[in-house]
Amino acid sequence: MTNIAGRHALITGGASGIGRLTAKKLAAQGARVTIWDINPTSLSAVVSELGADAHGFVCDVANREQVYARARETIAAAGPVDLLINNAGIVSGQDFLDLPDDRIAATFDVNVLALFWAGKAFLPSMIERNDGHIVTIASASGLIGVARLADYSASKWAAIGFDESLRAELRQRAPGVMTTVVCPFYINTGMFRGVQSRFPFLLPILEEDAVAERIVHAIRTNRRRLSLPRLVHLLPALRVLPIGLFDWIANFLGVNVSMKAFVGRAATPAVEAEHERRSA
**Cα(138)–Cα(169) distance, integer angstroms:** 19
Instruction: Output the CA torsion sign for 62, 68, 70, 74.
Output: positive
Cis ω before 80 (30° cut-off from 0): no
Query: Considering just the CA atoms, what is the radius of gyration of the chain in Å?
Result: 18
Cβ proximity of 31 and 84 under 8 Å:
no
Helix or strand run (H / E) with residue 68: helix 64-78
Instruction: Give the up-direction half-sphere exposure of residue 187: CA atoms within 13 A in the CB hemisphere.
Output: 26
The DSSP secondary structure of 234-249, one letter per residue, reads GHHHHTTS-HHHHHHH
3-state helix, strand, coil in the chain (%, to 5): 50, 15, 35
The Cα 30–Cα 251 span in angstroms is 44
Q: Which residues are catalytic?
A: 152
What sign has the CA pseudo-torsion 183, 205, 153, 121?
Answer: negative
Whether the Cβ atoms of residue 97 and residue 80 lie closer than 8 Å to each other: no
